[in-house]
Amino acid sequence: MILIFVRTIIIYILVLFVMRFMGKREIGQMQPFELVIAMMIADLAATPMSDVGTPIIYGIIPILCLLMMHIVISVINLKSIKMREIICGKPRILIYRGKIDETALIQENFTINELQERLRVNNINNLGDVEFAILETSGQISVVQKPEKRALRPEDFNINAEYEGIAYDLVIDGRIMGDNLNKIGKNYKWLEKEVGKFKMKPEEALVVVLNGDGSIFCQKKEGKK
């Protein structure tokens, strides 16, 4: 009995350390690889706690191996945008400018009813109120309502709201997002000119975002410490 108690405490402390090291995320916000690792850790931790015939090291070593895998994958995600897309996937626009993208729904195995359910979770009961609905890599849906349907709606004051589009990432970690530049009909020279206003080159930027109102957010990468 005492042995089980001690083994449980050891495994608990180890799992707590591993999960704490993995970062502060809610279950619904975990990336797929994080959720898989968490499930495997839970399964591995259960056996040595309940079965005194199994050496406790048989539970500790696999858990530490999974922690190492998490660290490796996290580093890869930070260093490579392409690998980040392969491992975590990319956000998918399900509703674009008020129109449901049927192809995106089919490819993501989403039904209209499930989309409506997710919108209701976001306190949106009318599909017609949605300008953009984006399926994030965590499985959650981010919603941008039409300007006239948001809180403190301009229509309440007889104000015609101006159209506001979706934001586009133009530079991430110093890497140019060529696809997004093509979507907005711009090229590298335009990007270089706009980023130059912040006294830097695109390759020196940590992030450059073209906001829906046409303004640009830009931040320079810090030097290596």
Domains annotated for the chain, with CATH where assigned, are 2-87 (no CATH), 90-157 (3.30.240.20), 168-220 (3.30.240.20)
Please state, in angstroms and rounded to a whole number, the distance separating the CA atoms of residues 69 and 37: 9
Average pLDDT over residues 176-195: 92
What pLDDT does residue 60 have?
85
pLDDT score of 35 more than 90: no
| Residue 25 pLDDT class (50, 70, 90 cuts) | low
Q: Is the pLDDT of residue 189 over 90?
A: yes
pLDDT above 50 (res 225): no
Checking 148-157 for CB contacts under 8 A at 24+ apart, the result is: none
Give the model's confidence band at 21: pLDDT under 50 very low, under 70 low, under 90 confident, else very high.
confident
% of the chain beyond a pLDDT of 70: 90
Question: What does DSSP say about strands 130-135 and 99-100: parallel, antiparallel, or unpaired?
Answer: unpaired
pLDDT at 23: 65
